[in-house]
Structures are given as C-alpha cells and as structure tokens.
Amino acid sequence: MYFNKRVLVTGGAGFLGSHLCERLLAEGQDVLCVDNLYTGSKHHIAHLLSDHNFEFMRHDITFPMYVEVDEIYNLACPASPVHYQNDPVATTKVNVHGAINMLGLAKRRRAKILQASTSEVYGDPDVHPQPESYVGSVNPIGPRSCYDEGKRCAETLFFDYWRQHRLQIKIARIFNTYGPRMHPNDGRVVSNFIVQALNDQPITIYGDGSQTRSFAYVDDLIEGLVRLMKTDDAVTGPINLGNPGEFTILELAKKIIEITGSTSKIVHHPLPIDDPRKRKPDISLARDILKWQPAVDLDAGLEKTIAYFETLFSEK
C-alpha cells in the first residue's frame, strides 16, 4: 500500500512557505504547516485549511517540536531587513536554535531535511557571479549579521549533522525572489517599488541605483526547492537557486514605473551599511544536478506581482 509522505514546512504561512505548501498538496503530500506568524499570515494559507491533507500549527521553532514527519523544509526566518533587524536576537535564535531543533527532529525521525539558506551568506561578494564554492565576504558584527551569519551558522550545523549523524540534508541558497504574497511593508526592493508606484509616491533608491540584483519569480524558486528535495542522498548542496538575469536597481525602478503607468519620481537616499554591490547567482550546479533553470522572465513576473498588489489594495 502507498502512503503519502508527511511533510513539515516551517515558516509555511510566509511568502515562500505558503507557495510551497500549495505545491506539495498538489503533489498529494500530507502537509504540516508550522509558523509563529511573526511575518507569516493566516491569509496566505486560508484557502488550504479545507484540504484534509493540510494541517496548520502555530509554533515557534526556537522551541523543540515532537511530531511525526518524513521530510522537513526549514523555511522559518524573517527574510527582509526591516523584519530581521527589528529583533536581531530573535533572528539569530530562529536560524541557530531553530536549525538545531529541526535537525534534532530529523535525526529522531530519520527524515530528509532541506534548509532554506540565502545568497546573503556570500555577503558583499568579491567574486561575481557567485558560485557555491565562494566562501563569502561577510561582516560578523554589522546590522545585517543576525541574518547573514545566522544562515551561515545554520549551514554549518546542517553539515555537522550530516557528517556526525549521516543525516539526509539539502541546502538551497536562495537569491532574491518575488511574487504574490510578498508583504507590502517588508522593505524588499520589488515590493517597495510596486507599492510606491501604485500609490504614485516617490520611488526610493538607496545609493545611485547602480547596484545589481537578480530576481527569481516565486514559482521558479519553488520548483527548484522541490527538485532539490527529490535528489538522492549523495546530493547535499549547497545549491544556488535564483535567476541569473542581472539588473541594476535603477533599471528595476524604471520597469515598474512603466508597467504600472505610475507618475512616481525616483529619489535617492544613502546606501545602507553592508548592502551588497552585486548579486548574481552562478546556477551551473542547479542546471546540471536538478535540470532546473528559471522559466519566468522579469517582465512577466512583475506583471503578475503588480496584479496581486492591485487586488490587495482594492480589497482594503
């Protein structure tokens, strides 16, 4: 007899987590969504609550969990500077204590576990684009360190559990991702610009706008996570998941103004401390191992994301 896997998604009511829960349910899995709702929202998963294969649990993973699961996607952590700098101690705790608790659960259950790491482990990179072999250039005591170093420590823990306990681990280094269900006030560049443009407010660019980012649409990112989880035990990662298309922040602002038809003007503010100058993934490993690459280009993804925010604002 075939039994569905029971899959735990921490941070499952967040932007990425809610999309992942949807995808796993569509594949017929039993999904346990865990979130403390610090940045996640019940609205993101409200449409899933009637699915008999879906269960929601409000819980903070800095405290241990005792549940029966076969796979774990560990996505729990505030991901925008506005949110992770609001309580930097809690951010470090969810990255470190949260990883320890989830790894302990995976060890007890002999479950496969995937860590949602980040391109921020590369810091302000001296190598461009960034391959997984690059060890990064990170400030350990700056205002972003709670997130950057927290994620780096989580990767360390994952590999120590792999070496010491032969745990089945997967690490995805996620680059800038955007799409429906982004928080309108999360401070991330895509949501910031869209909200400002739709309200005809000045679009705020930090620095001269020449710094670059690479933007992956959420559906592409979720596809990469699922493919990574399905690889055999020999594949641990880390594997970069992101869109190698590189745009300056100024180019992004102009695209959003054009698509929205906004009258917004661009204004410039000082660059934040430790803000990376360049960010672009080398996705050679993802292409080779996962047979994955992004399918949604920036214009198409922005149109879908802008439509989501237009609907969100019209409902208020």
pLDDT in tens, the chain (316 residues): 456 899 999 999 999 999 999 999 999 999 999 999 999 999 999 999 999 999 999 999 999 999 999 999 999 999 878 888 889 999 999 999 999 999 999 999 999 999 999 999 999 889 999 999 999 999 999 999 999 999 999 999 999 999 999 999 999 999 999 999 999 888 889 999 999 999 999 999 988 999 999 999 999 999 999 999 999 999 999 999 999 999 999 999 999 999 999 999 999 988 777 677 888 999 999 999 999 999 999 999 999 999 999 999 887 6
Angle ∠(161,170,153) on CA atoms, nearest 5? 55
pLDDT (0 to 100) of residue 1: 43
- Identify the domain containing residue 48 by its residue range: 6-179+216-243+280-295
Annotated catalytic, 206? no
pLDDT at 96: 98
Is residue 33 in some structural domain?
Answer: yes
For residue 2, the model assigns a pLDDT of: 52
Instruction: Choose the catalytic residue: 73, 147, 178, 217.
Output: 147
CATH code, domain with 89:
3.40.50.720
Do the domain assignments include residue 18? yes
Structural domain contains residue 254: no
In a domain, 285, yes or no: yes
Task: Tally the domains of the chain.
Answer: 1
Please indicate, yes or no, if residue 210 is contained in any of the structural domains: no
Asked whether residue 306 is domain-assigned, the answer is no
Is 208 inside any structural domain? no
Nearest alpha carbon to residue 173 among 122, 106, 245 = 122
Residue 194 in domain: no
